[in-house]
Amino acid sequence: MHIAALLDQAVRSWPDRCALVDADTDRRTSFAELADAVSLFSRRLLAGFDTRVGDRIALLGDSTADFLCADYGIMCAGRVRVALDPALDTAELLSQLRDAGARVLLYCQAYAGRIEALRPGLDESGIEARLLDALEGIPLPASSASPPHCEPDMIASLNYTGGTTGLPKAVVHTHRSYCAALRNIMAARRPWVGDVMLNMRPLWPIAAILQMAHLLQGGTLVLGSHFEPHRFLELVARHRPTCTSLVPTHLVRLLKLLPELQADTRSLACIEVGAAAMPPSLFEQAVAAFGPVFSVIYGLTEAPWTCYRPPSSNAEVLADPDGTQGLVGPTTEGATIAVVDGERRLPPGGIGELLIRGDHVMQGYWQRPELNAAVLEDGWFRTGDLGSIDEQGRLRIRGRVKAVIRTGGKSVQPSEVEQTLAEHPAVQEAAVVGIPDAEWGELVAAAVVVRAGAALAEDELAAFCRERLSAHKRPKLLVFMPLLPRSHYGKVLIRKVQDAIIASRPA
């Protein structure tokens, strides 16, 4: 199976149903029109650029219908899409383009200024940059050939990820692994024909995978561009979506706003919260505001949609917030998980490194054989996450293998300290990291977000920790932040937290 075949199936099933709604213009696109737009883009791409099957085509743009058609169209043309994060600086963008060996960079008009800053590096690297809208002017020969037939093991996408700590690297997904991930999503979520999804998340990660899964089951996708809390609530009221996808940072911003507004969000039957589990206090506030509609997804760029905890589990989590901390549910249909200590597989309840196997797992990292050898073995992917599996087969995330802080010869698991900090009634959430120190090796440090309307002094929080944590586990450095820095998946960006804490230290 490949991407073009999946889209063809959707069109044959629902040619006249509405597939896309542009929230800015209210332009509606049927499934047949979407398929025609993707096919037309693919043919113009082949006619306008001297590329071969497997060549890398980069994309820089926003969450628009044109971007989505280009994203899918590149893969349907047998080329490899390399969608870029617009938040990266010029040097980072150029580094990824060169690493991918991109032949072409297509961009939306909003990023014309960024392209000018990139121009010297693009010219030096032989990368042709073209405005996405300009492809409409590419003439098609009367006998223009159809896009080449894609094979399951052809590379579909390079997805750059830096995780939370490391340097960026490209995850390689084939048509086979991409389609397997789509099957996992559809089996877990079970959307229905006519289900309406409001998307205000970036489309560039993983080739808009969740959005395609929604479309493949006859759902309608409302493209709402960038998240802004007032805008989000206005679009919910206007389009009455049944589902959406947010990260904890979005929820924090919405919860600060909701007391001032009479917003009607009752149409939402499911709010998916991505890879970052919410601390119990945030979860309780969110359920109080939106109802028990929250699902949790566990996956990585390397193995998307591995576990899913549906909204029906909300009551259990509310009843036992501490006992269910980190619970991300059972595996999706095509995924297998194992918890190991070295080479030994652990029984239920044992805490160790999480391994994942399934057709949805990446082929490997682009041009990184040494890294592939370290994380891929006999079909298993070593995630670097710590977890445990309960008797019901549900996974609970316990932290990161490499996140352990070594201070004065003792080990501290950041998640334990974070959970303690979150128990303070004035703390919304916290991130705990290690900061290099000449005397101790590392110092335990924390970044804390204070709950809206609450006040909290550093001395008060330090006293709270003294009552609950051993001396070596107590944060020695502390900063208050309005929000924790997060990736597009909602994961806390450890390096940025470390940088903020280091910058706050007295000279």
The string of DSSP letters for 287-354 reads HHHH-S-EEEEEEETTEEEEEEE-GGGHHHHHH-TTTTTTEEESBPTT-EEEEEETTEEPPTT--EEE
Q: What is the pLDDT of residue 239?
A: 96
- Predicted confidence (pLDDT) per residue in 67-116, tens digit: 999 999 999 999 999 999 888 888 889 999 999 999 999 999 999 999 99
| Fold: same for 227-401 and 404-504 | no
Q: What is the pLDDT of residue 165?
A: 44
Q: Could you tell me which CATH number the domain at 26-174 has?
A: 3.40.50.980
Q: What is the pLDDT of residue 164?
A: 43
pTM: 0.83
What's the topology of domain 404-504?
GMP Synthetase; Chain A, domain 3 (3.30.300)
Domain boundaries, the chain: 26-174, 227-401, 404-504
Angle 65-76/3-13 helices, nearest 10 degrees?
Answer: 120
Q: Could you tell me which CATH number the domain at 227-401 has?
A: 3.40.50.12780
Cβ atoms of 171 and 71 closer than 8 Å: no
Closest CA to 216 of 17, 413, 415, 380: 17
Low-confidence ranges of the chain (pLDDT < 50): 163-166, 275
Q: What is the pLDDT of residue 247?
A: 81
Cα–Cα distance for residue pair 146/250, rounded to 1 Å: 42
- Predicted confidence (pLDDT) per residue in 455-488, tens digit: 999 999 999 999 999 888 999 999 999 999 887 6
